[in-house]
A = this chain, B = another copy of it.
Amino acid sequence: MPAPNMREKILEAASRLFAFEGYSAVSMRRIATAVGMTQANLYYYFKDKEELIRSALAAVFNGRSHSLAAALASGESPEERLERAISWFVTLLFDDEVVSKLFFRELLTGDKDRLKFLTQNIFQESFNTIIEIIDACIDTPDPTLAAIYLASTIIGYCQYSTVAVYLQGAKPEYFEPVAVARHLMDQVRRFAKAPCLAKEVLA
């Protein structure tokens, strides 16, 4: 039997390597070795390196994008939904280095076509969900802007933590996903619409 899902296996190995070392630093040879085949044979599955990169990105981001909807499936209060959404995103970025690093690489590379594609086809849906939730429970004239700030803070925190751990006075618990999510939610509650403010607020 000729390996049922060799294509997926290649995509998985390639995304890991691309995520951790970058596109140009990873050769077709390395990827081939990682899946135990010859370099030449990769060209049976992908036209060239570019196509392999694009396919790997699509596979990773598509695979993870539907999980927000799942995390919010059960219909709780807006505040609980917001809490879940924050915790979903924080956990995604902190615990899944393949997504987070590929995501950051895309932001850095700045290929406009790829960014536009990713945004409109993959991120937009989750983003709309967040806006909706924010609109329901946060007291702000511009929920879109608020959503951008919320996402930014999470993104930045995940990025910055790789260096912030070395700062004098930084404690390990600052960088625990669960603690981060809770702290963020506590901050957000300060902006909650009055009826939503369910718990005591402590920094």
Residues of A within 8 A of B (CB): 22, 24-25, 101, 104-108, 110, 115-116, 118-120, 123-124, 127-128, 131, 140-142, 144-146, 148-149, 151-157, 159-160, 162-164, 166-171, 174, 183, 187, 190-191, 203
- A159 and B162 in contact (CB under 8 A), knowing A24-B24, A101-B108, A167-B123? no
* Bound-state Cα–Cα, A25 to B111, Å: 15
Q: Which residue of chain B lies nearest to A155 when distances are taken between CB atoms in the complex?
A: B156
Pick 29 A–B contacts, CB within 8 A, sort by A: A24-B24, A104-B107, A107-B159, A107-B163, A110-B162, A115-B162, A115-B163, A116-B166, A119-B167, A120-B166, A124-B167, A124-B168, A128-B168, A140-B203, A145-B174, A145-B183, A146-B203, A148-B157, A148-B164, A148-B170, A151-B156, A152-B156, A152-B160, A153-B156, A156-B156, A156-B159, A156-B160, A190-B190, A190-B191
Q: Which residue of chain B lies nearest to A156 when distances are taken between CB atoms in the complex?
A: B156
Q: Contacting A169 at CB < 8 Å: which of B120, B144, B157?
A: B144
- A141 and B104 in contact (CB under 8 A), knowing A110-B162, A163-B118? no
- For the complex formed, measure the closest distance between the CB of A200 and the CB atoms of chain B, giving whole angstroms: 14
**Stoichiometry (number of copies):** 2
Q: Contacting A104 at CB < 8 Å: which of B140, B142, B145, B159?
A: B159
A116 cross-chain contacts in B, Cβ below 8 A: 166
- A153 and B162 in contact (CB under 8 A), knowing A104-B108, A203-B141? no
A101 cross-chain contacts in B, Cβ below 8 A: 108
A24 cross-chain contacts in B, Cβ below 8 A: 22, 24-25
For the complex of A and B, the 9 pairs showing the least CB-CB separation, nearest first, are A156-B156, A152-B156, A119-B166, A155-B156, A152-B157, A24-B25, A144-B169, A153-B153, A152-B160
- For the complex formed, measure the closest distance between the CB of A133 and the CB atoms of chain B, giving whole angstroms: 15
The reply to whether A170 and B156 form a contact with Cβ atoms under 8 Å apart is no
